[in-house]
Structure 1
Amino acid sequence: MTMFSLRIPCLTLVLALWASLGSSGAQFHPQVPAQYLPLPSLRQRASIQDDWTADRIANIPFLLHKYRAQAWLLVQREHAEDTIWWSVKNSTDFDAHRRTILLFHGNQSSLNGAPNPLKWIDNTGQVWPELLSTLSKLNPERIILNVDENIAFAGGLHVGEFEVLQRELGQQWMQRTINEPMLAIEFVATKLPRQFVYYHQMQEMVWAMLEEGFSHRAVQPGITNTQDLTWWFREKMQVLNVTTWNQPRISVVTEDTYPGWQGSEGIIQEGDILHIDFGITAMHLNTDTQHLAYVLRTSGEDAETDAPESLKEGLRKSNRMQDIVLDNMKPGLTGNTVLRRSLDQMEAEGIEGQIYCHPIGDWGHDAGTVMGFVNLPEYVPVLGELPILPKTYYSIELYAYHFVPERNVTLRFLQEENVAWSEELQGWKFVYGRQEKFHLVDSRRSIITFSDQTNL
């Protein structure tokens, strides 16, 4: 057994620890510091990912039957891939080659045990008579094409390829094509149980980065600025052999701090509240996390050993909002229904804030329904009307308003944690934990300079 395998928590242990994170009202902040447990080597990851992909593809005939179709046709060109390509490709494929055609089917017997999907790579046009011959053998009544105008995961067929299909397939087969976005959505959204052990490991890695980055080891008040800290996180990802799907966004929290794609710029000072929004990418999985830190005042009568109680109360409000959302997130309900019920419950409890949760997994913003957008706080057309699916991951993203008397200002307490569906418990659980207390930057502790830290 390799050193690596000894350090990876077994699936049974991870699931047992995960199950201990009970339903709303429990304490979810991890009691011990997070660790940097290395992910497998790139070569090992490739083998693991291909195994996952094969099992996910094996479920496509079931999905075809569920959505009353007999075939799913993907046609794409190199550098103009269908969105679905990134969830069905081999781990060592970095783009489609030439014209790549995939035909998923639900009638194995008619093709004498041919693989599923059937795959052609062609730049001569020879593929079209072979595809027509295959369709004649399958004789599908309904062929799904990814032509949806609203759902990216079901709308990846480029217009040029669609025109070629119309010409080459002709009316006989084109009149049997349909738009059925839920097949692509469910395929991408559904996660395998054994993916969880690595997703849990990635989440612990995120927490370890947060605990280190939001501390004296990376922040020197009066010297370090928010952009220094942003690039500290980027450099740390390189060391850990992971990447990201968005630039880390770090802000000093003020009454103007608002969720979005920009952080702030400026020197970090004692007494500041810090916020980060970032995610990491590895093994074709993505995380998305928002945490808060407090920079302790260290001198004179104002010296502190913890964040002020008024800030803790704001964090508790956003924690309560997380509970409310998870209690209302029932599979089968639409995202808009969950959003409406959650907002009504918040109002009944006297909590003001905003909810904007999204699926996560293959992509940072993954396939499935959403519960609010920042600019659509009460109802989201199309995406919000999709049903919540089990066997998925979600980012519980939101903020609570809270008045901080000593600052005479109302602040947004922004939080985001990832949850996963548990078949055993028939409910949602935090993948690693959730923030229930501030990360603390204490400059009285020994200092590692920014330049030294980025080289660790």
Structure 2
Amino acid sequence: MAWLPEILPLREQAAIHDTWLKMRLERLVPELLEREQVDMWLVVCREYNEDPVIMSLLPATSMSARRRTILVFARDAAGNVERLTLSRYGYEGFYAAAWEPNAETQRDCLARLIRERDPQRIGINISPLWAFGDGLSHIEYELLCSALGEEFLPRLVSAERLCVGWLERRLPEEITAYSRLVEIGHRIIARAFSTAVIHPGITTTDDVVWWMRQTMQDAGLSAWFQPTINIQAPGIAFAFLGDDDARKVIQPGDLLHCDMGFHYLGLATDQQQHAYVLRPGENDAPQGLREALAIGNRLQDIHLAEMQVGRCGNEVLSAALTKAQAEGIRAQIYSHPLGVHGHAAGPLIGLWDQQSGVPGIGDYPLYDDTVYSIELNIAHNVPEWGGQAVRIMLEEDAALTNGEMRWLHGRQESLYLVG
């Protein structure tokens, strides 16, 4: 696949993962513990019932938790952080081994470490709001409480914001690399929306979906959801939840929409773009469709301008929709953080079916050095289609750094043309 940028071999990917992990542990953990005023953070889980944060804390050769994995982050009065593991299988270079199985049980070791360090606020991963901060299972919580005893139980606090902060924050090195990931996604979409893949009148939307999925697999990328391809055409409107009876064969005159994303280097992408299938004699899409895309781009500009450090997701949503409405744009915004996960930790900025805001997760503020999938749509009546309302569904990846939003690898400003 000469048209696709080089994907690094697994060994090189692992080396990058471990380099970034050491940097993140050294730079971010002390800062986040201080920010959330947590003296000790406990991450406890068992093999095949992993906490949502655990794999982001382990080196690349760790494919899962082992038996029971316990990580301890202890902050002293000077702000220094001790990183310990209570496990039969150590993580040399990342965590210091603190348990001697022949001398004491794992729970006794944890209780001793806590007594010796005497933390006033012990963060554990329990949360009624964030899945990312709710990785401590019920049984592990009961065992932990039993080990701690009455003296330390009142000191347990939710580490939900610590989990979110750890997952959402990106190193400058990660953000620099992220641009290449997004470029790879754009290259795959451009190839999919071309005659190299689409033969109008023969190729189906499912054909393109599976070409995308297979291409990612063959390249060494891991799709984190099944791609989608949708058709809009005169008499065929966009269906948010899909339409099993919709026409699947791609025909001249169709407006195509794709949604795809993958994991690479421990980071996720999420992108949506459009293509127009030329009719015989056409050399461009109808003016009404080109105008619709331009309106979608304008909504992107409005949205990015409202994304400011310290604002919460609901404030960004309200301000952007208010400005869009003032300009006569029929808009919906449902952007989300992007990072270790596709629908990642951080503030939600709307949901497609919750345009008045998302209580709780939408109240979390935007922080610097974070990445977002800017996801939205506009409706526009297209004269060439008899005034039919067409939805332009756009999703591009952007970073918030130094207080400003920027696209990681540009955005779509013209329709792909197939034919």
Fold shared, TM-score > 0.5 on shorter chain? yes
Structure 2 partner of 1:120: 87
Matches within 5 A, 1:51-450: 51-58=19-26, 59-107=28-76, 116-121=83-88, 126-253=105-232, 256-260=237-241, 266-298=248-280, 303-408=281-386, 409-423=388-402, 426-442=403-419
Any idea what the Cα deviations from partners look like across 1:313-348, whole Å, max 9, x if unmatched? 000111001000100000100100011111110111
Shift of 1:422: 2.7
Any idea what the Cα deviations from partners look like across 1:156-181, whole Å, max 9, x if unmatched? 11111111112222222222100142
Shift of 1:153: 1.3
The one of the two structures with greater contact order (alpha-carbon pairs below 8 A, sep at least 6) is 1
Shift of 1:94: 1.4
Distance of 1:117 and 1:224 partners within structure 2: 55
- Are the counterparts in 2 of residues 249 and 262 from structure 1 also a CA contact under 8 Å? no
- Are the counterparts in 2 of residues 245 and 364 from structure 1 also a CA contact under 8 Å? yes
Shift of 1:129: 1.3
Question: Match of 1:57, as an amino acid?
Answer: L
Question: Match of 2:339, as an amino acid?
Answer: G
Secondary structure in 2 matching 1:43:
helix
Distance of 1:114 and 1:311 partners within structure 2: 55
Question: Match of 2:34, as an amino acid?
Answer: H
Structure 1 partner of 2:92: none
Distance of 2:156 and 2:250 partners within structure 1: 57
Question: Match of 2:363, as an amino acid?
Answer: E
After superposing the two structures, state which structure 1 stretch, 332-341 or 170-179, moved more: 170-179
Assess, with a 3 A threshold, how the Cα gap between structure 1 residues 193 and 414 changes in structure 2: closer, same or farther. same
More strand by share: 2
Any idea what the Cα deviations from partners look like across 1:347-389, whole Å, max 9, x if unmatched? 1111111000000011001110011001111211101100011
Shift of 1:259: 3.9
Distance of 1:417 and 1:265 partners within structure 2: 27
Question: Match of 1:53, as an amino acid?
Answer: L
Distance of 1:109 and 1:429 partners within structure 2: 36
Distance of 1:92 and 1:262 partners within structure 2: 42
Distance of 1:284 and 1:146 partners within structure 2: 22
Identity of aligned residues (%): 35
- Output the aligned Cα RMSD: 2.1
Distance of 1:204 and 1:48 partners within structure 2: 19
Any idea what the Cα deviations from partners look like across 1:62-103, whole Å, max 9, x if unmatched? 211221111001110111111110211111111101011111
Distance of 2:60 and 2:272 partners within structure 1: 29
Q: Alignment length, in residue pairs? A: 401
Gaps of 5+ in 2: 90-100
- Are the counterparts in 1 of residues 86 and 110 from structure 2 also a CA contact under 8 Å? no
Shift of 1:235: 1.4
- Are the counterparts in 1 of residues 73 and 81 from structure 2 also a CA contact under 8 Å? no
Shift of 1:121: 4.0
Shift of 1:118: 3.1
Question: Match of 2:409, as an amino acid?
Answer: Y
Assess, with a 3 A threshold, how the Cα gap between structure 1 residues 261 and 418 changes in structure 2: closer, same or farther. farther
Assess, with a 3 A threshold, how the Cα gap between structure 1 residues 50 and 411 changes in structure 2: closer, same or farther. same
Assess, with a 3 A threshold, how the Cα gap between structure 1 residues 265 and 99 changes in structure 2: closer, same or farther. farther
After superposing the two structures, state which structure 1 stretch, 34-43 or 58-67, moved more: 34-43
Shift of 1:261: 7.5
Normalising by structure 1, what TM-score?
Answer: 0.84
Question: Match of 1:420, as an amino acid?
Answer: A
Structure 2 partner of 1:453: none
Structure 2 partner of 1:25: none
